[in-house]
Amino acid sequence: MGMGEYDVKRWRRHLEEMSFFEGLEEKEIDLIIQISRVKSLKDKEILFWEGDQRSHIYILGEGTILISKLTETGEESLINVLGEGEIFPHTGFFDQSPYPGTAKAKKRGYSTCHSY
């Protein structure tokens, strides 16, 4: 899904407010936005499963994401609740390790998706 002018302004604001992107100039932030893909999220939609090969970094624009892990007994254990403006997964942004947990949308929203 492409970004309209309103979306670009909204994403620019999100990125400028994040410490992860602190110090970047507007043109650098615009480059990040240009290579981003917006993903609409449905309630209970899975973005990735624990153990899947890591391929994207996500920034949540709106909505809530639940991060869970399976326990040794196979039960789902909630480990984090993410909100607007958060980047995830939190660990190993640029390594090749699998996703450390499962990310599921709690309600409708959207995120950007960045391949690496």
Domains of the chain: 37-115 (2.60.120.10)
pLDDT of residue 16: 86
Across 76-96, average pLDDT: 84
- Tens digits of per-residue pLDDT, 30-53? 888 888 888 888 999 999 999 999
Q: Is the pLDDT of residue 5 over 60?
A: no
- pLDDT at residue 69 above 60? yes
Count of C-beta atoms within a 10 Å radius of residue 30: 14
pTM exceeding 0.85: no
CA angle, 15 as apex, 98 and 85 as ends, to 5°? 65
pLDDT score recorded for residue 51: 93
Residue 60: is its pLDDT beyond 80?
Answer: yes
Per-residue model confidence as pLDDT tens digits over 14-31: 888 888 888 999 899 988
* Residues near 50 by beta carbon (within 8 Å), at least 6 away in sequence: 68, 69, 70, 98, 99, 100, 101, 102
Average pLDDT, the chain: 84
